[in-house]
Structure formats: C-alpha cells, structure tokens
Amino acid sequence: MKVVSILEDQNIEKRIAVTPETAKKYISLGIDVSLQKNYGAHLGFEDSLYKDLGVKIVDDEKDIFDNADIVLQLGLPSDNKLSYLKENQSIIGVLNPYLNKKKIDDLIKKKINNFSLELLPRITRAQSMDILSSQANLAGYKAVIESFAHFEKAIPMMMTAAGTVPAAKVLIVGAGVAGLQAIATAKRMGAIVFATDVRMASKEQVESLGGKFLSVDGTENLETEGGYAKEASDEFKKKQEELLAETLKKIDIVICTALIPGKKAPVIIKEDMIKNMNTGSIIYDLAAIQGGNTAFTEVDKIIDKGGVKIMGETNILNKLPTSASNLYAKNVFNFVSNLYDKENKKININLEDEIIEKTLLK
C-alpha cells in the first residue's frame, strides 16, 4: 500500500501531514511513503532526512497521485490537483464538508473515499486520532501568547518599592480544549483568569486550572451527547449577555473560542459591550475564520474600537507549524493504522467501525 502527501499552499497552510517520525512508522508497517520534493524543508525536515528513512521523494505532483492508495493532507487540494485522483483512492484530512460540499460530491461521484478527520466521534478509542483536540490545544496556548504580546501592561502582579503593578484580568469565552489550555497558559503567566461556557460540565475543569467559572441559569442544558456546545435559547443568550456585559468592564484580555461545529460562530461580544471595556484591552478571537465571536472581528486584521484591539487569524497554527505538524501527523498515522488491514496490506473500509463510518463522507 502506498501513502503520499504533497505540499499545501504555503500562503494558507504551513503544517504537514507526514513528519519523519510518522514516515518511519508507516514504513515499519510495510507501507510505502512518497512525498513531494521539499515537502518538509520549511520546517527543517530536509528531503535527505526522509530519504534516509526509506521515503521516496517525487518532483511531479501528478506522479505522486498516480501511484497513491491514500493521500494525506491538511485540507482539500486545489481543483487542478484533485483532478489527478482516481477511482478507489482515498484522501484523508480536514476536508470541511460544509464549505466544500460541491468538491466533495464530485469526488464521491468519482468513487474516491473521503475521510474528514474533524468528524471523528468523541469516543475513547478515537482519542489518539483527535485532530480537533491536538490542534485546539496549541491554538489556545498561542492565542494567549499573541494577546499578551499586544497588551501594553505587565501580566503578573509585581510588588516593587515604587508601588504594586496589578495582575491582568483575562476572560476565556468557551472552555473547550482551546479554552482550557488558554486558562492554563494565562494562569501560569500570572494573570487572574475567568471563564464562561454554556456547558456546566466545564465548571470543574475551569476551577481545577485555577480559573473562576462564570455561569448563568440553564447552563446544564446546553451540551450535546457528543460533548459539544449546542445553540442556546434566546432567554439564555439574554442572561449570558447581561453577565458578560458586567464582567467585561473589568477585563483586560479576552480569548474567544466559542464554536458550534458546522455553523457560523455565535456573536457573543456585542458592540455595546466593547464600548464599555477599558482602553488598551485586547480581544483575541479564535473563532474568526467562522465569522467570529465579536461584532467587529475581521480575519487577519487588528481592529481598534475605542482603544480596544480585536484580532483573529485565518490560521494561528501557522505560527506553531512544527509542533502542530508533529501532533497532526501522529493523529493521522493512528487513523490510517485503524483503517489498514495489516494481514492483507490494504485499506479495510469497515462501516461497522464507528470511527470509519463517522468520518467517511457519503
């Protein structure tokens, strides 16, 4: 069986799906690996490093696809590159079927197997493949670092002979994987941390990290069976707005992480709330790419509203591409291992396996 991967569009995506560490693992399973020339060079993984492990380095993208059983990527390649795919080949990545419906439908018609890893079920057996968690963890950390870099005051409390510098107050909106890592990072750096989430189950996790959980009535009703947040009622939204409006008056830095899978991000921080925030405050919106959690978020821009800076990026993980690639590549390897019939050395699309059934786009 042959596994291949080509470079992503470097202007959009610097992560890779096959690192030297995972290439070695594929080869140890008896799987051939082919990669595009200079595949990992931008991360310090030279072609020679891959070649020494037994990886075939190919210059022509079409040649790579021609000989592939499985194509491993971050996102869907361009239309031109997708045209190289043939019947019974498989593509694995973050395919975003909600935004790429027509492309996916065309691939299905060509009898190409499309596995979208963001659809993995939240079950114990899938934890080692969970790309959402591994990548969100890094995103939550980096959002705090980026926010603190733009904040023009000290973060921890400092007691000096000239007086005391108060600790910065940080609010995390959404206490999922990214939010929890943001809490932990901000706390380690000496900030006073608050967090809010529509899922009551988050309270204990937030408090275990040293954060103060802000909750409103009805929180316990807003969690899906899969552990995700679900859309709130109008009554709940009103209560949440009142709590947030008061809290934001004393907050220095806000990290927004609230997302509903497959939908536009909910607008949680409204225009009037931002007007009441202190000059010099920072909002980092990790939901920017899905519309943003604030009224003013614009992707890849820093918006200044009355001295409050609002920022969000297309892909914050491009600032941590090596760490993100190492985790993503391991997630993908674990997924392929589950898909691989070691005895017959081929893919086994067993739809009775929940992991395969949930991720295969049909």
pLDDT tens by residue, 21-56:
999 999 999 999 999 999 999 999 999 999 999 999
Q: Are 40 and 50 in contact (CB under 8 A)?
A: yes
Q: Which of 69, 130, 252, 285 is catalytic?
A: 130
Burial of 57 (0-12, 13-18, 19+ CB in 10 A): middle
228 is catalytic: yes
130 is catalytic: yes
User: b/e per residue, 100-112, with b = 16+ CB within 10 A?
Assistant: beebbeebeeeeb
DSSP state, residue 31: -
pLDDT tens by residue, 146-177:
999 999 999 999 999 999 999 999 999 999 99
10 is catalytic: no
Q: Which of 128, 228, 337, 353 is catalytic?
A: 228
Q: Which of 47, 63, 122, 128 is catalytic?
A: 122
Count Cβ atoms below 10 Å from residue 258 Cβ, excluding itself.
26
* Averaged confidence pLDDT in the chain: 93
127 is catalytic: yes
Per-residue confidence (pLDDT) for residue 181, from 0 to 100: 98
Q: Which of 28, 83, 127, 208 is catalytic?
A: 127
CA distance 308 to 302: 10
Q: Which of 34, 89, 90, 133 is catalytic?
A: 133
Per-residue confidence (pLDDT) for residue 98, from 0 to 100: 84
Residues 6+ apart with CB under 8 A from 185: 140, 141, 144, 145
122 is catalytic: yes
pLDDT tens by residue, 92-150:
999 988 889 999 999 999 999 999 999 999 899 999 999 999 999 999 999 999 999 99
pLDDT tens by residue, 312-330:
999 999 999 999 999 999 9
Query: Per CATH, which fold does 135-318 belong to?
Result: Rossmann fold (3.40.50)
Per-residue confidence (pLDDT) for residue 3, from 0 to 100: 97
Band of pLDDT at residue 218, cut at 50, 70 and 90? low
Q: Where in the chain is the domain with CATH 3.40.50.720?
A: 2-119+321-354, 135-318
Which of residues 247 and 228 earns the better pLDDT score?
Answer: 247
Q: Which CATH superfamily groups domain 2-119+321-354?
A: NAD(P)-binding Rossmann-like Domain (3.40.50.720)
Q: Are 241 and 156 in contact (CB under 8 A)?
A: no
